[in-house]
Amino acid sequence: MGLYGRASHGGHLPVDQSGTLPSYPDIFAIMTFADLGLSDELLKAVETAGYSEPTPIQAQAIPAVLMMKDLVGIAQTGTGKTASFVLPMIDVLASGRRRARMPRSLILEPTRELAAQVAENFEKYGTNHDLKMALLIGGVQMGDQVRALDEGVDVLIATPGRLMDLFERGKILLNGCELLVIDEADRMLDMGFIPDIEFICDKLPVPRQTMLFSATMPPPIEKLAKKFLVNPKRIEVARAATANENIQQFKVPVSPRKKKEALRHFLRTDDVRTAIVFSNRKTTVRDLAKTLQKEGYSAGEIHGDIDQNTRNRELQRFKDGEINILVASDVAARGLDVKDVSHVFNYDTPWHPDDYVHRIGRTGRAGAKGRAFTFVTADDAEAIANVEKLTGIPIPTFGKEDILNPVPVKPAPKQDDNSSVEEKPKRSRRKPAANETDNSASEEKARRGSRDRRSEDQANHGPSAGGTSDSSPEGSRQARASKPRKAVTHLDDDLTNADWNGPIPGFLGVSALN
């Protein structure tokens, strides 16, 4: 076969003596899309989109798909994985006839956002091809989706739940599907979709071409690949579950009550242009978005409780730059492709270590640089340890040396040794004059003598009416206390026995007999 083989659509693709494609970067580093065997119409669309060189996963996957091979692709998020199967599928499906309710190809995605992203890729790259596409996702009306199926589609992009619903209603037939893509398979596993995928695969015709893509390869996904793929080509451009090297990762130890304060600090000081803030709970997403909005930040929110149209509008606002901070749950951790996201903040350490890779993968895309911060509380010790075990690298703790453009601390001005230190002026106290002292002493003696005489009178005469003037407040109180009151007899006895020596409350003198 020599050093070069030929793709099914013309153009040379390099192979080694054994007939297998070399791994990147041995030879693909110098390749262009024109070297991968894509059609001229597709190359024009790629060039119009502004791309000229394939990424590692694209350079290896595109020729394999064009040769109708089954494929297992393991790649980090943000590496161009979607285009690695969209581009060759457009050429493969360029010839053929579509039929009502019988899609020619099927792409399974775990979330609506991922499905919408793949649909955008088909619209962008398939502009020069006559291909019809349908999007089957929840959160929107089923009628339009059914009408699209009735007209016949070449590409069906679906989430498992909506596809199963339409299949059980008899609105779709899968026996005409010749090409299957299972995207984000590890996320499918986390969301419990594996039984649905197995059911769908059993309804597809054999033989067919099957592609499986995932950022991680846990044992259940390996088992799924062995069951439904035939002699697949395995492409691994990076070790499974590793994070992008263009992303600076940090963990920030913080108490739960200090998380908002820590987030504010980084938003102010870390040169944040656009950021996605991830939280584990939808309630936290709502609360945090409202807090940031009240503090003057251009922030939006996206989570599972928001309907699909609102989610799409919020994502579009973020892409258009109307808002530069998006607070999200893990619904946006995969498939959200926004250029130039400078920062990712894990407000909560993810419960599943796989989610960490996909969360931080929203930054550092397409060769750009990014920074990712994970807030770690004392209760997150096990979760962050699982993340580090999965990725195989320890996440450094954020320190002073990691600060972007730190503000220099101005030193205190030095004082000369000979200079005297100014003291605060002390309040001066004016000494009283001699005559003022004598007058004060005589007045104090007079007051003291008056008090002594009153004490002697009270001791000799007691608190009688004659001892104190009736016109004085003290005399009035004593007079009121000495007046006889009507009272219940047993109450009088109790008061006498208790030796009550204070004024008797008025309500005790009220009798029900009078």
Mean pLDDT, residues 291-320 taken together: 90
Mean pLDDT of the chain: 79
Neighbours of 29 (CB within 10 A): 10
Cβ contacts of residue 457 below 8 Å, gap of 6+? 467
Q: Which contacts (CB < 8 Å, 24+ apart) does range 190-199 have? A: 190/352, 190/354, 190/355, 191/110, 193/110, 193/160, 193/161, 194/220, 194/224, 196/160, 196/161, 196/164, 197/108, 197/160, 197/224, 198/224, 198/227, 198/228, 199/164
pLDDT(492) > 50:
no
How would you classify the pairing of strands 209-214 and 71-74? parallel
pLDDT given at position 180:
97
pLDDT band at 445 (very low <50, low <70, confident <90, very high): low
- 189 contacts 220 by C-beta, under 8 angstroms: yes
pLDDT band at 509 (very low <50, low <70, confident <90, very high): low
Confirm whether 4-236 and 247-402 share one CATH topology. yes
pLDDT(151) > 80:
yes
For 369-405, the pLDDT digits (tens) are 899 999 999 999 999 999 998 888 899 999 888 887 6
Neighbours of 492 (CB within 10 A): 15
pLDDT given at position 404:
74
For residue 152, the 8-state DSSP code is -
3-state helix, strand, coil split of the chain in percent (to 5) is: 45, 15, 45
| CATH among 3.40.50.300, 3.30.56.10, 1.10.3720.10, 3.40.50.1360 for 247-402 | 3.40.50.300
Neighbours of 431 (CB within 10 A): 8
Candidates 392, 316, 56; CA nearest to 332 is 316
pLDDT(496) > 90:
no
Mean pLDDT, residues 111-139 taken together: 91
Least confident of 53-62, 158-167, 458-467: 458-467
How would you classify the pairing of strands 247-253 and 325-328? unpaired
pLDDT(460) > 90:
no
pLDDT band at 309 (very low <50, low <70, confident <90, very high): confident
- 278 contacts 329 by C-beta, under 8 angstroms: yes
How is the beta sheet containing 299-302 ordered, strand by strand?
247-253, 370-376, 343-346, 275-278, 325-328, 299-302
The domain locations on the chain are 4-236, 247-402, 479-514
For residue 176, the 8-state DSSP code is T
pLDDT(470) > 80:
no
C-alpha 2/C-alpha 17 separation (Å) is 7
**In whole angstroms, what separates CA 373 from the centre of its chain?**
11
- What phi, psi does 43 have (nearest 5°)? -65, -35
CATH superfamily entry for domain 4-236: P-loop containing nucleotide triphosphate hydrolases (3.40.50.300)
